[in-house]
Copies of this chain bind each other. A is one copy, B any other.
Amino acid sequence: MTQELNPLKRKIKVFIVDDHALMRRGLADLVNSEEDLSVCGEAEDAPNALSGVSKTSPDLLIADMSLRGSSGIELIKNVKVLYPDLPILVLSMHDENIYAQRVLRAGAKAYVMKQEAADRVLQAIRKILKGEIYVSERVGTQMLQQIVRGRSPTESSPIDRLSDRELEVVQLIGRGRTTREIAKNLNVSIKTIESHRAHLKEKLDLKNATELVQFCVQWVEQENVAKH
């Protein structure tokens, strides 16, 4: 609408990467509705994003996490190598703390969930244009809690803090064994396994038994993949 009203003051150029056309449209609308922002280009996957960025040299990149093919995190890393000063805002489906941490470590400056309101995205844009970092409240407080508990986020995965016995229990839970079965298997009391599970929940910051099983299943899976 008001895109070319002010030719004296160049607008801040924003490049959008998302594999959902409709989401791109919504984002573009949002960005262009701001006086001083304008969309300079769009892409639906990582390769097109890289070539598009090199053509349009934007001031800001908005990227979706879950792209087809090469994942969003790979794109961030690649962009960071080629354009270290280009701030990146990452949109994600997940509110998982793990994703946020990985994304920020990969070099993004903001992590916003797609569920959030549109003005949150604008807040994030403003913040990272000032050189600051933005994460949505829920993820942010989770991260702070981790730091308060003395766990530096840069330190490798929390799985390293587990004892050998605890890791053993993780394996068995991940294979679908019950507490009783594990106890019998390891020739100890059920109480002992319950105790291990309690420690696991604490160390891995999991709320309840279901989340514990979820984590263990995923970890066993991921470990089996890593071997091949």
Contact = CB atoms under 8 A, between A and B. Distances in A.
B25 A118 contact: yes
Interface in A8-42: 19-27, 29-30
Interface string A215-228: 00110010000011
Nearest to A24: B26
Size category, A interface: 35 or more
A147 to B, nearest CB: 23
Contacts of A26: 21-27, 29
A210 B208 contact: no
A176 B211 CA distance: 5
Contact of A29 (B29, B93, B218, B227): B29
A121 interface: yes
Interface in A188-225: 208-211, 213-214, 217-218, 221
Interface string A72-85: 00000000000000
Contacts of A217: 213-214, 217-218
A157 interface: no
A49 to B, nearest CB: 16
A178 to B, nearest CB: 5
Contacts of A100: none
A116 B218 CA distance: 27
Nearest to A222: B221
Contact of A22 (B30, B69, B175): B30
